[in-house]
Amino acid sequence: MKLHYAAFVLAASLALGGAAMAQDKAAEQTKPEEQAEQRITLETATSLINYGKAKSDPLALLAGARMMASVPAKVMDAEGKAMDVGAVLDDAVKLSGDNEHVAALAADVRDDLDTSDRGMCYWQYQCYWNGYCQYFWYCY
């Protein structure tokens, strides 16, 4: 009985240790300075997108989408779904009317969008009961 318990504890320790090592390895790929820069970029982009939606400003939407597309990691919204930067670009083009410059810039940002899997880490946007929202870095 003691031998079974010891084997179970050993197996659990190895499994948890391996998971922790994988998470540490993924977290090491992005340095704290890079994480801070990405978080600030995402917060600014989210503010620009919110402003653009509230004021019907296509250039603010375009700038926010460009900034969000520049972050080399998955970005998830508050519901845990991938952020739809393409929809923000569609809104910017719609709001601009026939402005071909905005359409061309939106096309450039679309070309920069990387839809592939960006690894084991991602940014999650979370909002609290008091209205405060922020991004958190998660690795699995």
Q: Is the dihedral of CA 48, 49, 52, 58 positive or negative?
A: positive
- What is the pTM (predicted TM-score) of this model? 0.71
Q: Is residue 55 part of a domain?
A: yes
> Are 70 and 40 a contacting pair, CB within 8 Å?
no
Any residues with CB less than 8 A from the CB of 56 and at least 6 apart, and which?
A: 95
Number of domains in the chain: 1
Q: Is the dihedral of CA 92, 93, 95, 99 positive or negative?
A: positive
Q: Is residue 94 part of a domain?
A: yes
Measured distance CA(100)–CA(107) in Å, rounded:
10
Q: Is residue 24 part of a domain?
A: no
pLDDT tens digits, one per residue of 69-98 = 998 888 888 888 888 999 999 999 999 998
Q: Is residue 28 part of a domain?
A: no
pLDDT tens digits, one per residue of 23-39 = 444 444 668 888 899 99
Q: Is residue 53 part of a domain?
A: yes
Helix (H) or strand (E) holding 95: helix 85-96
Q: Is residue 91 part of a domain?
A: yes
Q: Token pair of 24, please?
A: 């540490």
Parent domain of 43? 33-74+82-112
Least confident of 1-10, 59-68, 95-104, 109-118: 1-10
Percent of the chain with pLDDT strictly greater than 70: 73
| Percentages of the chain per state (helix, strand, coil), in multiples of 5 | 65, 15, 25
- Name the one residue in this structure whose structure tokens are 């809104």: 91
